[in-house]
């Protein structure tokens, strides 16, 4: 009976752990989420795994929060319309008042116009152009990164485009790409870093004509799980504000994932971009990202930190704790391991209680394990040292360490 209970407990913990690690990443079941408002009207579509508490900002700057999910349909309530003028990168009045206060948090973000680009999902491709949606280690997404690189360089921006591979396309890819991102930030000290992806929805979701060109739109993704979530959120709103001014309709919207961080704690100007979907042709994605490049110099050159009503608090938190830099610490998935360890400990405590019948007996059994069984595990080595000590002249501690 006890063995059966222990097996069930371990399986339950594994299921919970898996759900924690996989929370708020892209779907890989070939489907996508349709977000509808309280009247049943479709307001957003995305290939991301949607959970209650996630939010979206639509192309027209209406913000919604998901309240429940049923199958592939997510139901959301309207929070309100966002005034992006509050995040205008050219609002020098706000900038000057906050610059001195925010300096510790953005010291890495100021500089001579350098951008780093990498791809967490190295396989992502565009079916109409590449023939399939996934090509391990050589996805069409690298070509989109090349187009972004070329367009930025024409504007005088220095670009480092990493060709690092992070296959397979699973939820742990962000753990693998974290090292790439950290190496880029530490080694190159860029003013901004972009993780370029493509989405997985029907083609019409991203297809658009902007400035007379048939392009694929760009979606920004913000991970709200980490302590820099608000800082990155303000940065994303700043980017959309600039994009709406230069190329209205280019940015499809912003997806705010309550349970993700996507390595955005590494740098105060870290952003995940979705450029079109696997159903769009790659040429349209390359045109879209080229237009998006027009936004970057304005965002990097005319502000030293994300602006907005909450920028001070978010950036101050980053400055006080060392977040928003390469020293930001573990990623969200790794931090989730702490929850797993906690669950294991809690499960072990519950098992001891159920197997002994009382807290007193459980404590006694635990004490016996730590004082006897664990000591016996190290016993042979300790006894060997003890025997040696009885046969030799005692030595001082410094000699013993040698």
In a domain, 132, yes or no: yes
pLDDT of 226 = 79
Kindly state whether residues 108 and 58 are assigned to the same domain: no
Kindly state whether residues 260 and 324 are assigned to the same domain: yes
Kindly state whether residues 44 and 113 are assigned to the same domain: no
Kindly state whether residues 374 and 318 are assigned to the same domain: no
Kindly state whether residues 57 and 161 are assigned to the same domain: no
Kindly state whether residues 54 and 93 are assigned to the same domain: no
pTM for the complete prediction?
Answer: 0.70
pLDDT of 211 = 96
pLDDT of 106 = 39
Residue range of the domain that includes 288: 82-336
Per the structure, how many domains does the chain have? 3
Kindly state whether residues 164 and 123 are assigned to the same domain: yes
In a domain, 347, yes or no: no
pLDDT of 301 = 74
Kindly state whether residues 283 and 373 are assigned to the same domain: no
Q: pLDDT tens across 293-347, in order?
A: 999 998 997 333 334 444 433 333 333 323 444 444 455 555 544 445 455 555 5
CATH number, residue 301: 3.40.630.40
pLDDT of 227 = 81
In a domain, 8, yes or no: no
Q: pLDDT tens across 128-177, in order?
A: 999 999 999 899 999 999 999 999 999 999 999 999 999 999 889 999 99
In a domain, 236, yes or no: yes
pLDDT of 401 = 42
Domain boundary among 78, 93, 113: 78
Kindly state whether residues 74 and 87 are assigned to the same domain: no
Kindly state whether residues 255 and 196 are assigned to the same domain: yes
List the chain residues with pLDDT less than 70. 1-29, 89-112, 302-402
Kindly state whether residues 110 and 71 are assigned to the same domain: no
Joined tokens for residue 181: 């991102």
- 3-class SS string, the chain: CHHHHHHHHHHHHHHHHHHHHCCCCECCCCCCEEEECCCCCEEEEECECCCCCCEEECCCCEEEEEEEEECCEEEEEEEEECCHHHHCCCCHHHHHHHHHHHHHHHCCCCCCCEEEEECCCCCECCHHHHCCCECCCCCCHHHHHHHHHHHHHHCCCEEEECCCCCCCCCCCHHHHHHHHHHHHHHHHCCCEEEEEEEECCCHHHCEEEECCEEEECEEEEEECCCCCHHHHHHHHHHHHHHHHHHCCCCEEEEEEECCCCCCCCCCCCEEEEEEEECCCCHHHHHHHHHHHHCHHHHHHHCCCCCCCCCHHHHHHHHHHHCCCCCCCCCCHHHHHHHHHHHHHHHHHHHHHHHHHCCHHHHHHHHHHHHHHHHHHHHHHHHHHHHHHHHHCCCCCHHHHHC
Kindly state whether residues 120 and 236 are assigned to the same domain: yes
């Amino acid at each position: 009976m006890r063995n059966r209970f222990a097996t069930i407990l371990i399986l339950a913990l594994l299921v919970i752990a898996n759900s924690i690690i996989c929370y708020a990443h892209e779907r890989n079941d070939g489907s996508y989420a349709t977000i509808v408002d309280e009247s049943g009207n479709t307001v957003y579509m995305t290939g991301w795994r949607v959970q209650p508490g996630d939010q979206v900002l639509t192309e027209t700057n209406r913000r919604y929060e998901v309240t429940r999910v049923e199958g592939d349909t997510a139901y959301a309530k309207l929070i309100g319309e966002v005034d992006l003028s509050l995040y205008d990168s050219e609002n020098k009045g706000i900038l000057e008042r906050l610059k001195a206060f925010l300096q510790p948090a953005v010291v890495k973000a100021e500089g001579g116009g350098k951008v780093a680009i990498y791809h967490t999902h190295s396989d992502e491709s565009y079916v109409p152009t590449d023939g399939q949606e996934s090509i391990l280690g050589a996805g069409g997404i690298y070509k989109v990164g090349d187009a972004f690189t070329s367009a930025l360089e024409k504007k005088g921006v220095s670009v480092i485009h990493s060709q690092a591979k992070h296959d397979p396309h699973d939820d742990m890819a962000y753990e693998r790409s974290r090292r790439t991102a950290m190496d880029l930030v530490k080694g190159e000290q860029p003013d901004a870093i972009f993780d370029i992806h493509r989405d997985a929805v029907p083609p019409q979701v991203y297809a658009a004509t902007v400035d007379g060109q048939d392009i694929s739109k760009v979606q920004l993704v913000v991970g709200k799980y980490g302590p820099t979530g608000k800082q990155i959120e303000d940065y994303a709103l700043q980017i959309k504000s600039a994009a709406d001014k230069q190329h209205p309709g280019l940015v499809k919207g912003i997806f705010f994932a309550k349970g993700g961080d996507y390595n955005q704690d590494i740098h105060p100007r870290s952003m995940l971009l979705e450029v079109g979907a696997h159903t769009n042709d790659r040429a349209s994605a390359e045109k879209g990202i080229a237009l998006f490049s027009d936004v970057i110099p304005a965002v990097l050159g005319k502000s030293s930190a994300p602006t907005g009503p909450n920028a001070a608090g978010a950036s101050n938190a980053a400055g006080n704790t060392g977040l928003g830099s390469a020293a930001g610490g573990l990623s969200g998935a790794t931090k989730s391991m702490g929850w797993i360890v906690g669950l294991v400990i809690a499960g072990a405590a519950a098992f001891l209680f159920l197997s002994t019948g009382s807290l007193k007996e459980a404590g006694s059994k635990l004490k016996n394990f730590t004082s006897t069984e664990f000591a016996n595990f190290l016993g042979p080595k300790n006894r060997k040292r003890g025997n040696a000590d009885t046969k030799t002249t005692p030595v001082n501690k410094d000699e013993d360490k040698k």
